Each structure stands twice: as structure tokens, then as C-alpha cells.
Amino acid sequence: MSSDDDTGSSGTPAPSATWGGRFRQALDEVALRYSASVDVDRRLAPQDIRGSLAHVRMLAAQGVLPAADAETIAKGLEAVAARIERGEMRWDPAREDVHMNVEGTLAEDIGPVAGKLHTGRSRNDQVATDMRLWVRDAIDGTVARTERFLAVLAVRAAGTVDVLLPGYTHLQRAQPVRLAHHLLAWAEMLRRDRGRLLDARRRLNRSPLGAAALAGTTFPLDRDATAKVLGFDGPLRNSLDAVADRDFLVEALAALANQAVHLSRISEELVLWSTQEFGFVQMSDAFTTGSSIMPQKKNPDMAELARGKTGRVVGDLVNLLVMLKGLPLAYNRDMQEDKAPVFDAFDTVDDTLDVLTGCVATARFAPEQMRAALRDGFLDATELADWLAARGVPFRDAHHVVGRLVGIAHAAGKVLAELPLETLRAEHEAFDASVFEALDMEAAVERRDLPGGPARTRVDVALQELRAFLGEAGVDVDAAAASCGAEARP
């Protein structure tokens, strides 16, 4: 998108990159190629035409254009939109950007009256409007994908309430939890991602249209009317800010980068869990690949790619921030470079959401392997310390006592539950035979019956709340259950 300070009411857009009557020399071929953006910003065509339709109909309603001219332009724009939808549009790089390609094609179709479309408008407020419309639509799409992933997690969690596995800190086995509780932790991350995107959507939903190049226009535009037609909450308050602002893009990409990091962490756990060293999950053939040399391999490539593509999204955010950091008000041609990172960030996160939704929906968990992993690593040590603390032993003292017992058990090649009572009492006289009940993993999980904890009742409540949340959002969880299929049952 090039800069445009012209808000005139007549003339047909020139089919070359030279804009306005001042210029006597065509743009250098290298400069034209360097500055053309239509290969990227043509994705804005639906939004560009929506904005143009709202603008031209407002001009007619305000008496700025004759109704007949406005109707001719509107019908012409609708015909161009249909041509684009059918894939029949001829995109000309000599016309620089999506705006001039649409308007130039319109002029070819309906003649000089097409030049009246740009009355009271600049490409500066035009592209700012297009980008807000595009990002708003894109956020809606990403939110819908996030909700589908949440629905799959709700289904998988409901089927894994009885499955216990080690929870980890420092990638060391720490304490037992329910698999459903772990999957619901993923869901919490995604719910916050969804909230950040919707919050960004709410803030961006103001219209720049009518700000023109930077100072508005002398034509009696109805900015409230165009904002309403385009689904905005109203016009932006300041014309300079309206064309200069791109922090709505920064905010959206920051939310996407955060979500990409969350998706990467989920992916990392899927990669780890699918190794023979863990053996907690077997990924579906549909989301894994083999080796070119080792026939036995089944590689979690989709999860690895999801992890790797996070760098692109973080880079897109940095790209945008660096581009903006030194720009004075109002519009600068640097802003043409905002589109590629925005498109790439949304495309990458959307694809990653689709892939990981499929990975989790079709994965087969291994409850036996998970439970076997509970035996090693002394995951019941905290239970023993808590048991002593509940009987009046200061927790720090209890911590030291149990630490010594772990050392004794480790040296003997045993788990804590296999130590005789005499050995326990030798470390602290408070121990009695009831202590062995505390070392049962199921009991250990059930004792953590606090809000947000892994006890069955708390997990059941969390599942009900997630289903209710998705229901309020209009998400069909039962449809997600059907997509998981028989292979997804633990």
C-alpha cells in the first residue's frame, strides 16, 4: 500500500505506479518492483471492497455524489468482488497495491465515474480500515479454532479422569495428578489465549474511515454511518491517530505470540510423552511420519513443527514492533510492511491449532505406562512429609526426616511404601501403621481436594465448568467427541 494524500473527487486512477499530475517521469522499474505490495495485500480485497461500498453509499446519502453515480459504482464493486471470488481477477503489479487494482479494474468496467469513489478518502484511512476489518475477521477465525481445540480437550479430559500420571517440575517426577487435570491445564492456557484475542478485537473495533490522509476532509462525511455499516463501535476520535495507529496489530500479534508459545509447550509435552523413555502416548499415524533410513521410527513431526513454527510468530511480532518504533505521525510508507507479518502470524497459529487439535483428538494415551511411572521417583515423599506435619511436626523438620528416608530407600532399591515401620520410626517417633495409607497414589491425589486441585470432585467440577463455558460460546462439544473417535479412548 502506498501513501496517498489525494482526496479529490474526479479522475480515473492511472494504470501505472505514478500517482497524480505532478509527476512527469514514470517510476523506475526497480523502484516499482521494490514498492509494489499487491502480491501480499491482495488478501485485503474483500475488506477493501466492503469499505468502499460503505463509503460510496454514505457519499450518496450525504448528497456528495449523485445517487445514480453511487449505484453504478456500487454495482461495479460488487462485480469486481465476484470476479475476485471466482479467481478471475487480473492483479497488476504496476498498480502497486490492492486498492489501485480494485479501483483500476472498476474504472475499466464502468469508466471515469469510478474516479468518484475516492471522494473524501485517502489510501491512508482506506488501508487502516481494511486492516482493522481483516484482523477482526481473522481473530474470529482463530477464536473459533481455539474453541474447537478446547472442545477436544474437554472430551479427552472427560475420558481420562481415572488415569493417574506423574506431574513434573524441572522435568523430574514430582507428585501424582490425574491426566484429566493435566489436559485441563492446557485448556486454561487456551482460554486465556482466547480472552486476549477477544480483548484485542474489542479495542480495535473503531473505524478510521473518514480520517482521509491525516486531517480529515472538507466533504460532509458521516463517519458514524460508515462505522455502523462496517460493524465498528464507532469512529476513531483523532484523525492523525486513525491513520498512524498500528498498535491494534501489535496487540493482536502479541496475543498470537503468547498463544504460539502455549501451543509450543503443549507440543513439547506431546513430543516427550511419545518417546519410548516416557511412553505415555502413541500419536496417530495421521499426524506422524517415518524415517528415510530407520524403518522402526514413528516421529511426532507435527508436534515438532508446531514447536518450531512458534519462532516465526514471535519473529512476526518483533518485525512489526521494529518497523513501528521510529515512525513519526501520521502515515509512513514503512507501514506497508505491516501486512506480511500479520498474515503470517495468523496463518501459522491457525494451522498449528488445526494440527494440534487433530493430534490430541486422535492420540492414544497409555494409562498403564503412566501408572508404572508413579512407582519410581518417590512421588509419595510429599505425602509422608504432610502426614508428619498434620501430626504437629514442623514441616521443615518433616521435610528433613522424609529426605533421609528417601536416601535410605534409594540405597536399598526400594520405594517408600516398602520400608518397614521400624525404619520409619527410627527417623521419627510420630510414625505409626496408618502412615502406609497415605502412600497410596489415588489417596494422595484425592487428599488434594481444593479448588483447582486434582481430586476427582474438583476435576469433575472443572470439566462441567469448561463444558458450560463452551456451550455459552456456541461450541458443540458432542461434535468434538465424534471427531475424536474410538482411537482416542484411553
Q: Are 357 and 152 in contact (CB under 8 A)?
A: yes
Residue 189: closest CA among 271, 302, 268, 273: 268
Q: What are the grid coordinates assigned to 30, written together?
A: 526497480
The answer to whether 285 touches 230, Cβ cutoff 8 Å, is no
pLDDT digits (tens, 9 = 90+) for 147-191: 999 999 999 999 999 999 999 999 999 999 999 999 999 999 999
Find the Cα–Cα–Cα–Cα dihedral 355, 201, 43, 212, rounded to 10°: -170
Q: Specify which residues 365 forms β-bridges with.
A: 281
Shared domain for 198 and 324, answered yes or no, is yes
Residue 261 lies in a domain: yes
Task: Assess if residue 192 is contained within a domain.
Answer: yes
Characterize the bridge pairing of strands 164-169 and 172-178: antiparallel
What local confidence, expressed as pLDDT, does residue 10 receive?
41
In a domain, 413, yes or no: yes
Per-residue burial over 337-370, b = 16 or more CB atoms within 10 Å of its CB, e = otherwise = bbbbbbbbbbbbbbebbebbbbbbbbbebbeeeb
Helix (H, G, I), strand (E, B) or coil at 289: strand
What sign does the dihedral 45-306-286-360 (CA atoms) show? negative
Q: How far apart are CA 292 and CA 236, in angstroms?
A: 56
Q: For the packed helices 339-362 and 301-324, what is the interaxial angle rounded to 10 degrees?
A: 160
What is residue 460's predicted lDDT score, i.e. its pLDDT?
Answer: 98
What domain count does the chain have? 3
DSSP state of 438: G
Q: Looking at the domain assignment, is residue 317 inside a domain?
A: yes
Q: Is 69 found in the same domain as 43?
A: yes
- Does the N-terminal peptide bond of residue 330 adopt cis geometry, omega within 30 degrees of 0? yes
pLDDT of residue 1: 54
Q: What pLDDT, on the 0 to 100 scale, is given for residue 17?
A: 43
Residues 207 and 353 in one domain: yes
SS3 488: helix
Contact 132, 204 (CB under 8 A): yes
- Find the helix packing angle between 179-204 and 456-472, rounded to 10°: 30
Categorise residue 231: left if φ over 0, alpha if ψ from -120 to 50, beta otherwise: left
Which residues are catalytically annotated?
A: 170, 291
Using the 8-state DSSP alphabet, how is residue 412 labeled?
A: H
Whether residue 232 is found in the same domain as residue 355? yes
Q: Are residues 213 and 85 part of one domain?
A: no
Residue 68 in domain: yes
Q: In angstroms, how far is CA 63 from the centroid of its own chain?
A: 43
Q: Is residue 306 part of a domain?
A: yes
User: pLDDT under 70 in the chain at which residues?
Assistant: 1-20, 485-490
Whether 142 and 78 share a structural domain? no
Contacts of 467 by beta carbon, 8 Å cutoff, 6+ apart? 154, 477
Nearest to 417 by CA among 454, 383, 371: 383
The CATH number linked to 361 is 1.20.200.10
Task: Fill in the DSSP letter of residue 366.
Answer: -
Both 331 and 391 in one domain: the answer is no
Three-state SS letters, 161-216: CCCEEEEEECCEEEEEEEHHHHHHHHHHHHHHHHHHHHHHHHHHCCECCCCCCCCC
Cα gap 164→168, rounded to integer Å = 13
Q: Residues in the chain, how many?
A: 490
In DSSP notation, 233-259 reads SSB-S-HHHHHH--HHHHHHHHHHHHH
Question: Does 43 fall in a domain?
Answer: yes
Of 84, 2, 5, whose CA–CA distance to 36 is shortest?
2
- Residue 218 in grid coordinates: 472538507
User: From its phi and psi, is residue 120 left (phi > 0), alpha (psi between -120 and 50) or beta?
Assistant: left
Query: Residue 192: exposed, middle, or buried by beta-carbon count in 10 A (0-12, 13-18, 19+)?
Result: middle
Tell me whether residue 487 is in a domain. Answer: no
Domain co-membership, 75 together with 220: no
Segments forming the whole domain that contains residue 438: 377-446
Which pLDDT value is given to residue 2? 53
296 in the same domain as 421: no
In terms of domains, do 102 and 137 share one?
no
Radius of gyration of the chain from Cα atoms? Answer: 30
Cα–Cα distance between 383 and 379 in angstroms, integer?
Answer: 8
Question: Could you tell me if 335 and 191 lie in one domain?
Answer: yes
CATH code for the domain in which residue 442 is found: 1.10.40.30
Residues 341 and 230 in one domain: yes
CATH of the domain at 69: 1.10.275.10
pLDDT the model gives residue 288? 87
